Structure 1
Amino acid sequence: MEDGSWMRLESNASFSLSFRECVGFMPSNEHTSIELSGTDRPGLLSEVCAVLADLHCNVVNAEIWTHNSRAAAVVHVTDDSTGCAIKDPNRLATIRDLLCNVLRGNGAVNTAKMTLSPPGVTNRERRLHQIMFADRDYERVDKEEIGRMHDKSTRPFVTVMDCYEKDYTIVTMRSKDRPKLLFDIVCTLTDMQYVVFHGMVNTGRKEAYQEFYIRHVDGLPIGSEAERERITQGLEAAIERRAYEGLELELCAEDRVGLLSDITRVFRENGLCIKRAEISTKDGKAKDTFYVSDVTGSPVDLRIIDSIRRQIGPSVLQVKHNPLLSPKQPQGTTAGFLFGNFFRTRNFQNFKLVRSAS
C-alpha cells in the first residue's frame, strides 16, 4: 500500500476516483455517509466501529468489502442524540483524523486531505468497486496469501483479444455464477472508460460465460499489452470482490447505539475475521449479515460460533449459510443470478449492451 490518506466532504453521494487510503464524508439531511479505504487486517472493522461509537455516531447502514489485502466500506451514520446527519465541520474533522489513524494501523506518517465535490448519486455497490479499483486492489501483492484465499479451480478466467476486422476488443470471462455478476462486470468496464457494444451471456450448472465487444470511450480498441493486462486484472478483481463464500452469519436484534461496535468486538475477541458485511437498520431493528473466516482465512470452527452465540444470544445470531454443510447446487441455474438487480440500478446511461448476433 502507498502512504497517503484522503478525506472528501460532499453535500450528498457524489464521488471522485483519485484517492488511496481514505476517509470521505457525504452529509445529507438523514445521515452522513463515510467512505473508508485501507489495508485489511484482523479486527479492522471492530476498531472502526469502536471509534464511531466513542464519537457518538450511530451506524444505520453500511457495506464492507475486502479483497487482496485491501478493505473498503461505505458507512451511513447519524448523531446518536439527534438521529440526524452530522454536519459540524469540526466534528467531521475529528472523525476523519481518528479514522485515518485506525486505517493506518502501522504507525506510518500519512497525510489527510479534504475536498468538496459536486452533487450526484451513485449506487453503493458500484461505489465500492470504484473505491477498491482506485486503491489498486487488483494488484497481486502476496501470491501465497492469494493462493490460500482462492482455490485455483474457482478463480475467474479472463481473456482479452483483438477483433481487427471490426475494430473491437473481445473480452471473455468464465467464472462461477453468482448474483450480480453481470452488474459487477459492466460497472467495472464502464468505470475503466470502456463502452460495451455487443455482448453474450451464458450460464450452465454452476458456471457463467460472458463475452463482450468493447472499445475505449474514445472509440478505439485496446492498443497495448499493458492495457490488456489492466483490463484482465480489473475484471478478475471485480468478479472476486464479493465472491467470498465463507461462513455467513445473520444478526437480528433491537437496534441501539453501539450495537455494531459490541458485536464486532466479540467477533474480534474470538478470532473471527470479517471478509464482507452488510449492515442495515429499519424501524428500530438491526439486520446485519457477516461473512467470516478465522485469522488465517480458513473455515471457522463451529465451536467458536456456538460460544459467540451464547455470548450474544442464540436467537440473535444465526448461521445463515455454511458452505461446508450446504447441499450441492441443483442443476439448471438461470441467468437470474447473473443479472441480479442490474436493470433496476440507476446511472448506466453509457452502457450499450446488446445481444450478440453470433
Structure 2
Amino acid sequence: MDDEYQKLIRRMNPPRVVIDNESCKNATVIQVDSANKQGILLEVVQILTDLNLMITKAMIHDVPDYVMTDEGILEYIEKSLGPDSCFASSMRRSVGVKSESNHTAIELTGTDRPGLLSEVSAVLAHLKCNVVNAEVWTHNTRAAAVMQVTDETTGGPIADQERLTMVKRLLCNVLKGSNKSREAKTVVSHGSTHTERRLHQMMFDDRDYERMDGEDDSSERPSVNVVNWNDKDYSVVTIRCKDRPKLLFDIVCTLTDMQYVVFHGNVETQGPEAYQEYCIRHIDGSPVKSDAERQRVVQCLEAAIQRRVSEGLKLELCTTDRVGLLSDVTRIFRENSLSVTRAEVTTRAGKAVNTFYVRDASGYPVDPKIIDSIRQTIGQTILRVKGTPEESNQAPQESPTRFLFGGLFKSRSFCNFGLVRSYS
C-alpha cells in the first residue's frame, strides 16, 4: 500500500528531466529538477553509473569534447528518472538467498582470509550450483559477495528449499572459519537488488569501517574532513583522493546509508586527484552533532572509497562457461599461494568473462614465475595479465576508465549533469 502511495505522489509531482544536445555542440547536458527527497541523488548517480557514462562538467559554459547521441540511452535516462520510474525507494534489504526469474542470488559476508573464494565456490560446485555472475569485495579483514547461481540440472533458479537451506548452512560454516568473534551472514531475503549497492550496504552493516587496533595511519588513506559552519545548520564534508571510476557513486551510497541528505555539493577533478565537497544534514534536519559522529562519518567515507580500490595483480579470464569453472580457477590460485582481493564474474552467451585481483597470500611481491605457471596450467590465451607483477606491487590496480564529475548541483532541487561519453 505504501509503495502504491509513493507511486501516486511521484506521478502527481514527477521529477523533470531535460536532456539537451542543442545548447552546446560538444556536450550533452542532463538536468534533473525534483524535490530533494532522501535517495534521489543516489538514484540519479546510480542510473548514470550503470550506463557507464563519464561525466566531466555540470556547467554549460565549460565545453566538453563529445556529444552523446544514442537515442536509446537518452530515452532510458528519461524513463528511469521520470514519473514512470519503478526505481525502488527503499533499497535496504537483509543479506541472504533469494530466488529470481532465472537465477538464485546469494549474498554473503564474513571474515576475509586467503583461499576464501576458492572454498565458497567449491561448496557451490559440490552442491551442483553454477556461478553465472558474482562480485566479491574485501576490505579491512572483511569480505562480502553477491553471487548469482543456477541449478546445474535445470539451468534455472534453485527451487528446492531443503537444498537452499543446505547451501546457506555450508556457506555460513565456510565464512565463519576459525573467527568466532565476528559474525558471518547467509540468510533469506526477497526482491531485486543492485549488486554494487548491496555490497556497500553489506560491508557498512558489517562495520568494515572500524579500524583495527594498531592500524597504520597511512598517508595513502583518502583525506576526509567534516566541519560545521557556525552560521549554518549543516555540515560540510570535503574529500580529496585519487580519482577513479564510480567514486561519486560509492560516496553517495554511504552518505545515503548513514541517513544524510546532500542538499548542495561540488565535485571536481584536477589531474589524477578528485576533490569533492558536500553540504549535508541528517534526515532529522540536524548537522553532525558530536566529535564521535564526525569521526564515524570520516571512517565510513574512507571505507567507501577504499572498498573498490583493488590491491594486487589484475588477471582476466575469458573462456567457455561450465559448471565448476570458478571453483577450478580459484583452487589453482589458492594452491599457488595467491589470495583474491576482489573478483568480478560474468557470463554472457555461454562465455565466462572473469576479472580477478590477486596478491601473494604471505604479503610478498607476486612472483612472475608463479603467474607464468598458472597461465600455462589454465591456458595462455584464456588467462591474461593486465599490467605487470612489478607494477601491481607498487600501487593498487584500478580500472583504466575514469568517472569525472563537475559542479554537482546549484540548489536543493536542481541537478545539472554534463554527460560526455561511455567509458566502457
Could you tell me the TM-score, scaled by structure 2's length? 0.70
Q: Which residue of 2 aligns with 1:134?
A: 205
Equivalent-residue separation in structure 1 for 2:303 and 2:99 (angstroms)? 30
Matching residue within 46, 51, 55 for 2:127: 55
Deviation at 1:143, TM superposition (A): 3.5
Matching residue within 274, 278, 292 for 1:212: 278
Deviation at 1:339, TM superposition (A): 5.0
Q: How does 1:1-358 map to 2 (within 5 A)?
A: 16=92, 24-106=96-178, 108=180, 114=187, 117=190, 119=191, 121-144=192-215, 152-322=218-388, 324-325=390-391, 336-339=402-405, 354=415
Tell me, yes or no, if the aligned pair for 1:195 and 1:214 is still in contact at 8 Å: yes
Partner of 1:139, secondary structure, is coil
Deviation at 1:220, TM superposition (A): 1.1
- The one of the two structures with greater contact order (alpha-carbon pairs below 8 A, sep at least 6) is 2
Deviation at 1:336, TM superposition (A): 4.8
Percent of aligned pairs sharing the same letter: 60
Tell me, yes or no, if the aligned pair for 1:271 and 1:295 is still in contact at 8 Å: yes
Letter in 1 for 2:239: M
Query: Cα deviations across residues 267-321 of structure 1 (Å, max 9, x unaligned)?
Result: 0000000000000011110000001111134431111100100111111100023
Tell me, yes or no, if the aligned pair for 2:171 and 2:186 is still in contact at 8 Å: no
Letter in 2 for 1:36: L
Query: Cα deviations across residues 212-232 of structure 1 (Å, max 9, x unaligned)?
Result: 000001111111111111100
Equivalent-residue separation in structure 2 for 1:68 and 1:339 (angstroms)? 28
Tell me, yes or no, if the aligned pair for 2:265 and 2:278 is still in contact at 8 Å: yes
Could you tell me the TM-score, scaled by structure 1's length? 0.82
Gaps of 5+ in 2: 1-87, 396-400, 417-424
1:339 to 1:75, Cα distance in 2 relative to 1, 3 A:
farther
Tell me, yes or no, if the aligned pair for 1:196 and 1:352 is still in contact at 8 Å: no
Equivalent-residue separation in structure 2 for 1:113 and 1:269 (angstroms)? 27
Equivalent-residue separation in structure 2 for 1:42 and 1:286 (angstroms)? 23
Tell me, yes or no, if the aligned pair for 2:108 and 2:185 is still in contact at 8 Å: no
1:55 to 1:298, Cα distance in 2 relative to 1, 3 A:
same
Equivalent-residue separation in structure 1 for 2:186 and 2:256 (angstroms)? 27
Query: Cα deviations across residues 41-90 of structure 1 (Å, max 9, x unaligned)?
Result: 00000000000000000000000000000000000000011100012111
Letter in 1 for 2:174: V
Equivalent-residue separation in structure 1 for 2:379 and 2:246 (angstroms)? 32
Tell me, yes or no, if the aligned pair for 1:183 and 1:339 is still in contact at 8 Å: no
Tell me, yes or no, if the aligned pair for 2:244 and 2:402 is still in contact at 8 Å: no
Partner of 1:64, secondary structure, is strand
Letter in 2 for 1:140: R
Deviation at 1:354, TM superposition (A): 5.0
Deviation at 1:352, TM superposition (A): 6.2
Letter in 2 for 1:73: A
Equivalent-residue separation in structure 1 for 2:213 and 2:333 (angstroms)? 26
RMSD between aligned alpha carbons? 2.8
Partner of 2:231, secondary structure, is helix
Kindly tell me the number of residue pairs found equivalent between the two proteins: 317
Query: Cα deviations across residues 254-274 of structure 1 (Å, max 9, x unaligned)?
Result: 100000000000000000000
Deviation at 1:206, TM superposition (A): 1.2
